[in-house]
Structure 1
Amino acid sequence: MYDRILVPTDGSREVERALEYAFDLAHEHDATIRALYVVNAAGYGGLPMETALEGVSDALREEGRAAVSRVEDLAPADVTVETAVREGSPSQVIVNEADPLECDLVVMGTHGRGGIDRLLLGSVTERVVRRASVPVLTVQVDPDGVDGRAEELRLAAE
């Protein structure tokens, strides 16, 4: 059912909960994991000096390489992991990365915002769920979350 599973990571320990689901699915379906880290270029665009910008960009890319390398380190021996570090708007890069690679599924964590926070503050996960042309499995990674269950959401691209 699944051949390629895209797993965005921010390098945090909380994302490891989503990785567990991705690894289990990859094992069951003999699928390949594609670990993706997105350097959010907009986050440092207002810095005053070009050399400072280059330094920040290099540091963020290095952080990304470490994050996807961690996914490789955590993967069970029978699960193949590919890695990528991209630059841009996180939700857009994730959606774009899923399509060209013909991924069957995106597995990503959510911090479990609810109520008015969820309505006013669109998260990267919510944007991906709304725009992805493949199923998105969201995994609650917030340690204070209600129940920590995963739910699969299938939404057509707008």
Structure 2
Amino acid sequence: MNVLVPMDYSELSKEALRTTLSLHPDADITVLHVLDWHASDIGPGGWGDSPGTFDEWLDAAREHADELFEDARKIADEYDTEIDTDTAVGEDARNIVEYVEDNDVDMVVMGSHGRSAASRILLGSTSETVARRAPVPVLLVR
């Protein structure tokens, strides 16, 4: 079984990884982090003034993702399991669904919402979109 665990920097995404490791100890697990420029401090459309600005942001985002992956590997080590990691660049939900469609993924396990206070009130828009559009089962952890 191949399980995709999309992760951001929230505690719920770490809990989704722990849940996956606990429920599916023999699965091939890939942690995916989407580098979403829409969520950056620069904001959409902020790249036009300087062509190098996006490249600088992307390099910094990849470095930050490496820190996230290191945390994910430490969690996996607690379960004596190895994980694969990958990144995608763009909008979170769209890239998660595309990753599922383009790869051999049997299931998605993800947090029910991300880091923002507004998303804690309702099911997060990313998780809701993935649950509706992914062609495989999606387990939402809360």
TM range (shorter): 0.7 to 0.9
Match of 1:113 in 2: 121
Structure-1 residue corresponding to 2:106 = 104
State the one-letter code of the partner of 1:19. Answer: L
Evaluate the alpha carbon distance shift between residue 78 and residue 101 of structure 1 in structure 2; reply closer, same or farther with a 3 A threshold: farther
Regions of 4+ moved over 6 Å: none
Whose helix fraction is larger, Structure 1's or Structure 2's? 2
- Which residue is 2:5 aligned to? 7
Distance (Å, rounded) in 1 between the aligned partners of 2:68 and 2:141: 18
Uncovered stretches (5+) of structure 2, i.e. residues with no partner: 114-119
Q: Which moved more, 1:42-51 or 1:10-19?
A: 42-51
Q: Distance in 1 between matches of 2:91 and 2:11?
A: 22
| Structure 1 unmatched runs, 5+ | 141-158
RCO comparison, higher one (Cα < 8 Å, 6+): 2
If the length of structure 1 is used for normalisation, what is the TM-score?
0.73
Deviations 1:51-90 (A, max 9, x none): 3322222111211222123211210453231100110111
Q: Superposition pairs for residues 18-57 of structure 1, below 5 Å?
A: 18-27=16-25, 30-43=26-39, 44-47=43-46, 48-57=49-58
Q: Which residue of 2 aligns with 1:58?
A: 59
Structure number with larger C-alpha Rg: 1
- SS of 1:38 mapped into structure 2: strand
Q: Following the alignment from structure 2 to structure 1, what is the Cα–Cα distance between the partners of residues 105 and 82?
A: 14
Give TM-score, length-normalised by structure 2: 0.81
Query: Is 1:130 paired with 2:132?
Result: yes
CA RMSD, aligned part only? 1.9
Identity across matched positions, percent: 32
- 1:132 CA displacement: 0.3
**Whole-angstrom CA distance in 2 between matches of 1:82 and 1:68:** 9
Residue deviations 1:70-115, cap 9 Å, x none? 211210453231100110111111111112222111000013533x
